[in-house]
Structure 1
């Protein structure tokens, strides 16, 4: 069995984050494991207990997605789209990548100011944001999927490692708690044109220093379109459908790194640039 350190490396993309995730407020006992507890701690920016520790041993991936749906509904915000996660090595006990939901208040614009106080443990991932031009039918093919994309945009996801008791963190907890979704900064949208979404190099600099970079063709499938098709299929399994205007981010293509105060700039080649300030 993989040890805790390796499991954490899988989700954050670098071994240095083992120390970071374990620096979150120590685990504690919770008498109330209702949805109100999870939402309250999410909104108060406090470490959140692991749903699997509040559930029976029979807590399945399907149960975790049902929990995510209830957790998302309790946020009381407009559904804006979806995010993919665990699109690299399948660790944390995962048998496949997972998805979470993005809500309107999570989406930020270029040149925004980010507040560290809005996170428990903010991280940075480099992604592509896809906006859909039409509802995506359940039977869409890999070849047809690009035709449903209205625009592409550079995106930087700022997931929050708000998980309490990280030593026992599993993939079902990550599913249930919406894949750590907190904020996504999205740059100027452009029409897809002839851009090869599998051939882009994305880079991020903090105060002029390179902090992370990656190639868009290096996910578990080796293909951005396959990632989006997986998302379509998994949503369909639960009775959901990507709708016109929804945004999807297809999973990080770079090692996840911690967010620090200062100025961040991003270069995504022909896809464009992005920047924001962290305070």
Structure 2
């Protein structure tokens, strides 16, 4: 969990605690309750930036940490992390200019070809990306590109189903960070490649909905290289007190614009070197 530590994030100079001292602040506590109610009810809420500000990273990550702690206490298991807002196209869509991170829980994972009830994720939008599975911890050392590459067991094609607990996706940077980086669910492909077999930066992506191409991009769209996105995440996660661990899944960030989906949609992404990954959306709420 992202709790109990002082942090100095590379992305914005956070230097306040994200642990109990921070979550005792009334504004942070109110933001936690607002987002928790939206998660529990399935009814999107108002933005939380009126409570914690639009770009106070310490406050936003404190809200995220408190919500993560609640989910873990309720039985959810952390299986990885996601990097959000790595693509300039997605940053333009949401009006932000830097990446963020969120937590992946075990109940977010789906297999290639699965059907997902559209109500499983609030206000779902889909994006295609490279996912990494780690074979070793990223907790010590310089956490530079050579070390990070060596820690990757394999990469696969992935679809992330982003969701927002905030009505109308009316989010500033602090809103999406507090809301677990707008995470919802994810789907991993089946073709595994080591980083000796392909270069993530060279990936070419095409995503279609119902057979119509709706998003394209390349590995270079993800902070210049998905490996560099993983470097950013490894360092930031360590700063937040919860380093990346062996066996975890990392969604490295969108390679192109995300698109909304509805019941009846079938989404397929093709990533050169990694094959395809597909998901279908059906009527209904989360089981």
The equivalent residue for 1:54 is 51
Separation in structure 2 between the aligned mates of residue 85 and residue 134 of structure 1, nearest angstrom:
22
1:158-177 superposed matches below 5 A: 158-164=161-167, 167=170, 169-177=171-179
SS of the residue corresponding to residue 137 of structure 1 reads coil
Separation in structure 2 between the aligned mates of residue 273 and residue 95 of structure 1, nearest angstrom:
29
Match of 1:206 among 205, 209, 226: 209
Q: CA deviation at 1:50?
A: 2.2
| 1:42 matches 2:39 | yes
Separation in structure 1 between the aligned mates of residue 64 and residue 158 of structure 2, nearest angstrom:
23
TM-score after normalising by structure 2: 0.78
Q: Aligned-residue CA RMSD in angstroms? A: 2.2
Which has the higher mean CA deviation after the structures are superposed, 267-276 or 33-42? 33-42
| 1:249 matches 2:248 | no
TM-score after normalising by structure 1: 0.80
Separation in structure 2 between the aligned mates of residue 103 and residue 124 of structure 1, nearest angstrom:
18
The equivalent residue for 1:144 is 147
Separation in structure 2 between the aligned mates of residue 213 and residue 158 of structure 1, nearest angstrom:
16
1:79-228 superposed matches below 5 A: 79-89=78-88, 94=96, 96-138=98-140, 139-164=142-167, 167=170, 169-192=171-194, 193-219=196-222, 221-228=223-230
Match of 2:60 among 61, 64, 78: 64
Q: Which runs of 4+ in 1 moved over 6 A?
A: none
Which has the higher mean CA deviation after the structures are superposed, 104-113 or 191-200? 191-200
Separation in structure 2 between the aligned mates of residue 196 and residue 244 of structure 1, nearest angstrom:
21
SS of the residue corresponding to residue 144 of structure 1 reads helix
Q: CA deviation at 1:252?
A: 0.3
